[in-house]
Structure 1
Amino acid sequence: MSIKKVYKSAKASAIKRQTIYKILNQPQENREIINIHNVGPYNVGDKYCAPYHYFDEINSEPLHILNYKHQNSEIRNNFIEKVVNNKLIIGGGGLLNRNGFAKQMHLFEKLAAKHPEKKIVLWGVGHNSKEKTLYGNLEKYNVSVNKFNIAGTRDYSRSGEYVPCVSCLHPIFNENFKVTQEIGIAFHRHTAQKKEVVSQFKNYPKTSNNSDLRSLIEFIGSSEKLITDSYHVMYWSMLLEKKVVVVPNSTKFYDFKYKPVFSTFTSAIEDCKKAENYSGVLAECREINLNFAAKVFDYLNS
């Protein structure tokens, strides 16, 4: 590694440590409600998995969970100021057991323990490890969700209260869609760049999770069966009672209450024959989130 890269890495590590130290060692306040999540502009699932989209009680802009390490000190200091002074809703999305979010989630865990008066809620977060040996075998989260006063996790068989992704509340799922194709392929945006994978499905309609929400939901709605390696395509397909085959790229697919067929891109078309659809998932997920919301806002506003 070059001296320049070593210096850059050391500087980045120092920035992270400083941010964490400043947050943990300041008096905490509970002013407004701030939603912190992965505000990714290229992944429609990341965008719509945040509760601020669906509840007027959260009347401020979301805070990007990655801004704690931003090179721009103004953005970084805004992150510190927002976290220190406000009530926090962390989530949704695959923020647990993922290296890119580990320091932030440990920060919130320590913040909850060190400042018990601080109001922090986890909403619809889930595990998201890329370690293939853990696919279907992950035993515990990398933070103790029980240290938070209220913790809703989207993983059905893990600790925390089961709260599936809040995106089920989007009104687009109230619409009816005409089925015009038997099998639709919906890639994760990174997979969509892999020509050797995409070419295997040259005779099938395709999209990816970096499209806009309406286009993606209309694509799902027009398909009888979906093949995907996107968590939210899997989830939204089940909300719309579609048959789903998943090619997993993370542990996150394995703990949803309703199971897809797990496959590979090579075998996915054939495995569509094994897929089944589930009824009532949309109503169930909405009811869980609305009940959870009542508890969350009662706590945060008390």
Structure 2
Amino acid sequence: MLDRNIGKIHFINRIDKDNVGDWICSPLNYFYDYFKKYNLIRHDIDFIDWNEIQREDIVIVGGGGLLYVTETFNLSINKLLQKCDTVIAWSVGFNTHGEQWSNGNNFPEIPLDKFKLISIRDYEHPSNLEYLPCPSVFALPSPDSVSVDIKRKFGLIGHKDLSVNLDNLHIEAISNSSSINEIAEFILSSEAVITNSYHCAFWTMLLRRKAIVINKFSTKFDYYKYQPEFVTVSKNDDSTTIKEVLEAAYGRAKIYDAAYAEAVNLNNDFFEKVKEIIFEKGIKEGNDYQHLYELNNSSLWNTQNELKKIGRICIRLEELQNNINDLHDELYDVINNLHDELYGVNAQLKEEISSGRFIKKALAKKILGKGD
């Protein structure tokens, strides 16, 4: 067995095969040719192998909206900062959801100053942290190198966990569970993309198409550097109203020629900073300890948070069971006491009755005797 204390590099993000943005946002996907010479472990933030992470290792968290989205994500990041001296955040995002997700909004604070190096995908965020677009830019073709025929004015890419119902408008649709190649082709063959997926809006703008975000549900939509158009529609809106809203948004939406190249350049620059830290840390080369597993059982979003809810329910059930047991014991004691009391009363009555009969017999004999 290999020594866990050898210097390792860990990559941690949300691994969800059914959400292509989560699936491909790790920088390991795009810089593996460099990192492959080191001992590597990739973790899902919901399934971190804590026994593998040592103080002298390097942990790279990101990308994806991992900050202030669930209590358990924050707790995991804080534990990483406590357990390892060199934690790097690569294009992580703030991502507090709306009430319909039931993730809460009271999260443990993350000491952001404890990161060795940190970048966020949120532009001009109040934290004033370094801005870095998602490294998934490298999964897309350069808009300068592709030419795709336009097939539709509007295309719809829905988030797998939050449906958008525009059926009455007969807009061709796919979901963010499609492959990145399918999504890129769909974007390029559309004049504009309507979506409620952060990454799909991001990729649309990188590929120089108009992006329209419909019914945003998280703070992650508030900090794009290059802004999509935002619209809100309700189930009570008729088709004519929704179509008018979308047409107006289409007219306002912009094409961003510089977005793709900027995202590539900024990620390459950040990569150089990461390489400097690896060099300074003195991580030895050696690739005989690599676990780049893909968690096939992790398609449920936010698994650990859901398990924590189940845990709280189990604790409550245990408390209720204990209360039931206590009530059972109390009831058993009451029944026993009543039984003893009844037994005593019954015995006393029997004694009194028995004594009464004896007296009657004695009196009867005495009277009869006198008569003789």
Q: Same fold (TM over 0.5)?
A: yes
Taking the aligned partners of 1:52 and 1:251, their CA distance within structure 2 comes to 26
Please identify the structure whose Cα radius of gyration is greater: 2
Q: Quick check: 1:177 aligned with 2:153?
A: no
SS at match of 1:224: strand
| Equivalent residue, structure 2, for 1:109 | 81
Taking the aligned partners of 2:6 and 2:57, their CA distance within structure 1 comes to 4
TM-score by length of 2: 0.63
**Which of 34, 37, 49 matches 1:57?**
34
Q: Kindly state the Cα deviation for residue 30 of structure 1 after the two structures are TM-superposed.
A: 6.7
TM-score by length of 1: 0.76
**Which of 109, 131, 135 matches 2:98?**
131
Residues 9, 41 of structure 2: 8 Å contact kept? no
SS at match of 1:54: helix
Trace 1:265-276 onto structure 2 (pairs within 5 A).
Answer: 265-266=233-234, 267=242, 268-270=245-247, 271-276=249-254
Trace 1:1-302 onto structure 2 (pairs within 5 A).
Answer: 31-55=7-31, 56-59=33-36, 60-68=40-48, 79-84=49-54, 86-99=57-70, 100-111=72-83, 118-131=85-98, 142-158=109-125, 159=127, 160-170=129-139, 172-173=141-142, 174-192=145-163, 197-201=165-169, 203-247=170-214, 248-266=216-234, 267=242, 268-270=245-247, 271-302=249-280
Residues 12, 61 of structure 2: 8 Å contact kept? yes
- Structure 2: where are the runs of 5+ without partners? 100-104, 235-241, 281-372
SS at match of 2:191: strand
After superposition, the Cα gap between the structure-2 partners of 1:30 and 1:98, relative to the gap in structure 1 and judged at 3 Å, is farther
- Structure 1: where are the runs of 5+ without partners? 1-27, 69-78, 133-137
1:204-230: per-residue Cα shift (whole Å, max 9, x none)? 111110011111110011111111000
Identity over aligned pairs, percent: 30
Q: Kindly state the Cα deviation for residue 187 of structure 1 after the two structures are TM-superposed.
A: 0.4
Residues 92, 120 of structure 2: 8 Å contact kept? yes
Number of residues paired by the alignment?
251
Q: Kindly state the Cα deviation for residue 265 of structure 1 after the two structures are TM-superposed.
A: 3.9
Letter in 2 for 1:57: Y
Taking the aligned partners of 1:157 and 1:109, their CA distance within structure 2 comes to 24
| Aligned-residue CA RMSD (Å) | 2.4
Taking the aligned partners of 1:293 and 1:103, their CA distance within structure 2 comes to 26
1:43-91: per-residue Cα shift (whole Å, max 9, x none)? 00001110010112333352111014xxxxxxxxxx0133226311000
| Equivalent residue, structure 2, for 1:13 | none
Q: Kindly state the Cα deviation for residue 275 of structure 1 after the two structures are TM-superposed.
A: 1.2
| Equivalent residue, structure 1, for 2:300 | none
Residues 37, 91 of structure 1: 8 Å contact kept? yes
Letter in 1 for 2:279: N
Taking the aligned partners of 1:235 and 1:32, their CA distance within structure 2 comes to 32
After superposition, the Cα gap between the structure-2 partners of 1:242 and 1:284, relative to the gap in structure 1 and judged at 3 Å, is same
Letter in 2 for 1:274: R
SS at match of 2:217: coil
